[in-house]
Amino acid sequence: MVNIYKKGISGLKSSLTKLQEFYLTSFQSMIGMVSRPFYGRDLLEYMDYCGTGTLGIIVLVMVFIGMALSLQISAAFASLGLQMYTGKVVSVSVVTEIGPVACALVFAGRAGSGMASEIGSMVLRHQVDTLRVFGIDPIRKLMTPRVLGSVLMLPALTMLGNCAAILGGYYISTLGNNQSGAVYWESIAAVFYPQYIFTGFLKPLFFGFVIACLSCYMGLSTKGGSLGLRSATTAAFVLSTIFIIVCDFLITKIILLLF
């Protein structure tokens, strides 16, 4: 019993220490956004990597999500005579919930894992130690451009993904179910309420910050060679997925209370 108790206390202390380190590194990366030196070239390179490289995957995924939603909603509404509301339900669901979460998961799997593996490889090759020797802050150099790039790119990617999903729903509604295209687009006006616009913008903004901070922190914490790199990359994606789902619920609850 004593050994179990000691192991439990040791595990709790280790978890609290890691949580503290994560908060400190995230805060330092935010400080780097508003103070010199700025690494503009690194920011542009990462924005190109996570934006251009992820756009095609997100558009493809969101098109089929919109098509699947339209199929399900049209089938459910057909028996009630409410097929004219298909566009409204598809658009609201995509903009407020499905779009931000799905795009964030794709972003975490592609860009987040890439961040963790890239920085982890630099740690194992002692390149991060070399930066410190030359007086360069590795958090400001490596983490800040990735966090800022994720915060800027994920909302833009989510917006394009939402448009792709709505177009996919339009294709199924008009060509697959022979509904009026004009009615579909008119019902989409519901997504322009302030509540839905604010939700659709806030969630990817926050998700991008969380994904980048977690992925960079796991990369900087890499230890133990190739096995440690594998564990860090896997942990970055798993933790990002958990935080995305939990934060999605919390943000939705707060927004519903505010509006």
Q: What is the pLDDT of residues 112-147, one digit of tens each?
A: 998 899 888 888 888 888 888 888 888 888 889 999
**Residue the block writes with tokens 């994904």:** 211
The answer, yes or no, to whether residue 60 has pLDDT greater than 90, is: yes
- Asked if residues 245 and 203 have their Cβ atoms less than 8 Å apart, the reply is no
- Asked if residues 203 and 107 have their Cβ atoms less than 8 Å apart, the reply is no
First vs last C-alpha separation in the chain: 51
Q: Write down the pLDDT at residue 207.
A: 94
Q: Write down the pLDDT at residue 2.
A: 54
Share of the chain above pLDDT 70, in %: 94
Q: Which structure tokens are listed for 133?
A: 């020797």
Q: Residue 118: name the closest of 6, 212, 243, 247 by CA.
A: 212
Segment 199-237, tens digit of pLDDT? 888 999 999 999 999 999 998 888 877 888 888 899 999
How distant, in Å, are the alpha carbons of 17, 76, 165, 214 from that of 207? 23, 32, 19, 11
Most confident among 5-9, 61-65, 80-84, 123-127 (mean pLDDT)? 61-65
- Asked if residues 200 and 166 have their Cβ atoms less than 8 Å apart, the reply is no
**8 pLDDT tier (thresholds 50, 70, 90):** low
Q: pTM, whole model, 2 decimals?
A: 0.88
Among 32-41, 123-132, 165-174, the least confident range = 32-41
As a three-state string, the secondary structure of 95-124 is HHHHHHHHHHHHHHHHHHHHHHHHHHHHHH
Pick the more confident residue, 186 or 141.
141
**Cis peptide preceding 37, ω within 30 of 0:** yes
The answer, yes or no, to whether residue 193 has pLDDT greater than 90, is: no
